[in-house]
Chains A and B, each alone.
Chain A
């Protein structure tokens, strides 16, 4: 299995996120305290249904304008000014949901106003108008590795000399559409997620999340040094049982980390088989690295998880402390799972990974002064 990492180092000029626990600093602090944002919530919102763990920024219902717009306004206000959406300052928008929850609302209410922001292009067009961006908005959607693709694409635009600075924005807000979908797959059920934990039944949570990063070729104190991507194409919702897909991506990113003292932020949704394969592959390729995951508190922020969790990782570096794997219990799949917070002083880099439907794998190397 052949895959190699892009080694196109970029500086992180600015990066922040919004989750139900607050911005990146607040979310980091809450995770260190072990707070869990997930709450059992009816799967169809006001229409009821089974209760499942969701971490929400407000009630899960489709509104006009969409409920996620005020949160995005607060987040986007933090972005350094530039001619965003022009050729030299392109915007990359990534998401797995965009405004798709509005389609559920349209089918329920028959109000065509919901359709205005329901498709990816309509949702992005709403952002473009709201935030005054130009037309140079690249849109990527690859389920739960979407944000990684946006960050990797940004590095290529910068190193090709096509862009001076790139703004990557990702947003995914939970809706009955996506909650119902994951519930139908039976991995979203009435149990709280316990990432990397050996137990009888796996379960995930879903969470609202959005984040941005401004990337530049200029050297900055915090940098993304490399990206690795791999697509198994074994099954829509399953992985190769020998873990070859996880190994391929982990091997590629490990090849560019030699000599570094690393910690790893994994995907860690709470599923059993994927969680075990992921933990084992990371333990093989990074035998001395503690592995953490934060979806046991925040839920899975889907296509945005790579960028939301990057913002939290950066907050961890600034604070000098990495949150542990909230929600994990003993016994865990490997001994490398860090269930409690630890100091960053002993490390000089971090590997951040995500996985997606179709056996898609993504990893990035975060380095810092």
Chain B
């Protein structure tokens, strides 16, 4: 069995109708003004869930997003034929978390950006649990798309979450474990469902990747 203890959990699930511009106003006191105007909605929410999370160069970060920087992608496409360099670099996965870590000038040993869908939560957790780093930050999130959402190619709402995982049970608020067995894959919670479960501190279990998953709160 592989297990890690949860020492920090924070979830941002703003009003589904919130725009990036509204988020900049709501969160203006959390970011430098010069950075704020360039940050994406997902970057802003990622910054909030990482607020007060101490990071060191020895840490590893796992970052899960199916759609990632949707709005930068949409706007970059409409900037042609005079393609925007800022939108290009922002649109590249994992721009959401890089906005924050570059803003903090915070190096990390390993950054694992995942971009799947059906089993994204499971694979992100597996990546985090296999990390040898003493502290692993598991991040996830999306931002609401505009025209790509009309074609089911973007998330319908913005959200972000952060978990700080260690091997130390002292002071932990939760525990996530993977127990290898012969069970067949069951439906894996979506990234958005997982963020809701974290926000509500609900227990969770399912089978996948050749084992049983269990999330419980202490």
A: residues with CB less than 8 A from B are 1-4, 6, 44, 47, 49, 87-88, 90, 96, 98, 100, 103-104, 107, 112, 115, 118-122, 124-125, 135-143, 149, 153, 156-157, 160-163, 176-177, 180-186, 229-237, 245, 248, 357-360
B126:A231 contact, CB within 8 angstroms: no
Q: What are 28 inter-chain pairs, A to B, with CB distance below 8 A?
A: A3-B110, A44-B80, A44-B81, A87-B209, A98-B115, A103-B148, A107-B77, A119-B153, A120-B116, A121-B115, A121-B116, A137-B116, A140-B112, A141-B94, A141-B114, A157-B130, A162-B130, A162-B209, A180-B83, A180-B88, A181-B85, A181-B89, A181-B91, A184-B84, A230-B107, A235-B102, A236-B90, A358-B102
Interface size range of chain B in the complex: 35 or more
For B73, what are the chain A residues with a Cβ–Cβ distance below 8 Å?
A: 100, 103
Chain B nearest CB: distance from A138 CB in Å?
5
Give the docked Cα–Cα distance between A234 and B101 (Å).
8
B112:A185 contact, CB within 8 angstroms: no
A185:B89 contact, CB within 8 angstroms: yes
B101:A231 contact, CB within 8 angstroms: yes
B105:A233 contact, CB within 8 angstroms: yes
B213, CB-defined interface residue at 8 Å: no
B209:A121 contact, CB within 8 angstroms: no
B118:A115 contact, CB within 8 angstroms: no
B210, CB-defined interface residue at 8 Å: yes
Question: Apart from A162-B180, A231-B111, A233-B106, what are 7 other A-B pairs with CB-CB below 8 Å?
Answer: A4-B109, A120-B116, A121-B118, A149-B113, A181-B83, A181-B91, A234-B105
B159, CB-defined interface residue at 8 Å: no
B126:A162 contact, CB within 8 angstroms: yes
Q: From A237, which residue of chain B is reached at the shortest CB distance?
A: B89
Which residues in window 87-133 of B have CB below 8 A to A? Answer: 88-95, 98, 101-102, 104-120, 123, 126-127, 130, 132
A136:B119 contact, CB within 8 angstroms: yes
A1:B57 contact, CB within 8 angstroms: yes
Give the docked Cα–Cα distance between A176 and B89 (Å).
15
Chain B nearest CB: distance from A107 CB in Å?
5
A135:B118 contact, CB within 8 angstroms: yes
Give the docked Cα–Cα distance between A182 and B76 (Å).
12
Q: From A120, which residue of chain B is reached at the shortest CB distance?
A: B115
Chain B nearest CB: distance from A178 CB in Å?
9
Give the docked Cα–Cα distance between A115 and B58 (Å).
40
Chain B nearest CB: distance from A306 CB in Å?
15
For B195, what are the chain A residues with a Cβ–Cβ distance below 8 Å?
A: none
B168, CB-defined interface residue at 8 Å: no
Chain A nearest CB: distance from B176 CB in Å?
15
